[in-house]
Structure 1
Amino acid sequence: MLNDLIAEKLTVIFCGINPGLKSAEEGHHFSGRSNRFWKVLHQAGFTPHEIAPVDDKTIVSFGYGLTTAVARATNRADELKKEEFADAIEAFKTKMTLYNPKYIAFLGKPAYTAFSQKREVAWGAQAEEFCGAKVWVLPNTSGLNRGFSLSDLVVHYKELYKAIKAS
């Protein structure tokens, strides 16, 4: 099981698609060896050092939180069924309304496309808010996402970081 790491009025809640098997087993977000989330977060400027997955709880002290769109752990996110996103949306909306982050950053397009019911979604800032929060869609940092190099990921995440600092 992978618990949310969130608090009220955070700057950003990063929303993964769903937990990987290793993360769910260990109880730490983005703990798969090939996942680049913590490295990207640091290199984009969000944290002063690279957080180890076992220290994932410290992310809240920087004003950021972690959650997933769907709770079921899988080896690959593409193993999820459309119904699982549909079943998860109301609980997700309730959570976002309760915790009221300034931004929600969806990591990968599947959750946001399912939750917004849009067919096409561009990377980056979205025109519409979601539960009162500004929305960004960022590439997933999974090692299975070979379409984005580490430097590509950092560029996308740094855009969000710069937007936050400018607001």
Structure 2
Amino acid sequence: MPASGLSEILAPGLCVVFCGLNPALSAARDGHNFSNRSNRFWQVLHLAGFTPRLLRAEEEREILKYGLGLTSAVSRPTKSASELKHHDYVSAAPALESKIGEFGPANLAFLGKAAYAAISLRAQVEWGRQSDEFAGASVWVLPNPSGLNRAFNLARLTEHYRELRSVL
């Protein structure tokens, strides 16, 4: 279990592991990933076709049935991911790489550009599939589903997640 107290949802050979930037304070308090009502993760997973029904944060372990997993790039909870700095992602990268290498998912989907940009040492990162791999997994960068991410409405978020779903 990471330092945040939240359970990671991981198993060997998953199709996709979704990698959040870090846990929200509310998720750490509630003990469930993406538990804040304003977070659209569970809704987007369902709308994009990853799950046959809308799951609640309390049902988070059910995603394993669908070949999906969850982790965070940085385990330290914050009110907003904007509190994290470049060095937070870089220093967390070896542990993430070890974890992904151990569990061997086919795809790793970073939820937001910040973590992948820092880890890959790139100034610019585009949305979608990346040209390289991370610990043997194909890398995707998807918009962060946080309610604080006002640049993406529900329809646009779903469109990006559906792109990943369509290639699985």
Instruction: Answer whether TM exceeds 0.5 for this pair.
Output: yes
Task: Give the structure 2 partner of residue 19 of structure 1.
Answer: 23
Matches within 5 A, 1:2-151: 2-151=6-155
The letter for the 2-side match of 1:119 is A
> TM-score normalized by structure 2?
0.96
The letter for the 2-side match of 1:47 is T
CA positional deviation for 1:117: 0.8
Please tell me the root mean square deviation across aligned C-alpha atoms, in Å.
0.7
The letter for the 1-side match of 2:166 is K
Matched residues, number: 164
CA positional deviation for 1:130: 1.1
The 2-side partners of 1:26 and 1:11 are apart by 27
Q: Deviations over 1:69-88 (max 9, x none)?
A: 00000000010122211210
The 2-side partners of 1:90 and 1:128 are apart by 17
CA positional deviation for 1:129: 1.1
> TM-score normalized by structure 1?
0.97
Q: Which runs of 5+ in 1 are unaligned?
A: none
Q: Which runs of 5+ in 2 are unaligned?
A: none
Three-state SS of the structure 1 residue aligned to 2:71 is: strand
Three-state SS of the structure 2 residue aligned to 1:66 is: strand
Off by >4 Å, runs of 4+ in structure 1: none
Q: Deviations over 1:73-118 (max 9, x none)?
A: 0000010122211210100000000000000000000110011111
CA positional deviation for 1:33: 1.0
The letter for the 1-side match of 2:126 is A
Percent sequence identity is 49
The 1-side partners of 2:119 and 2:62 are apart by 28
The 1-side partners of 2:167 and 2:113 are apart by 20
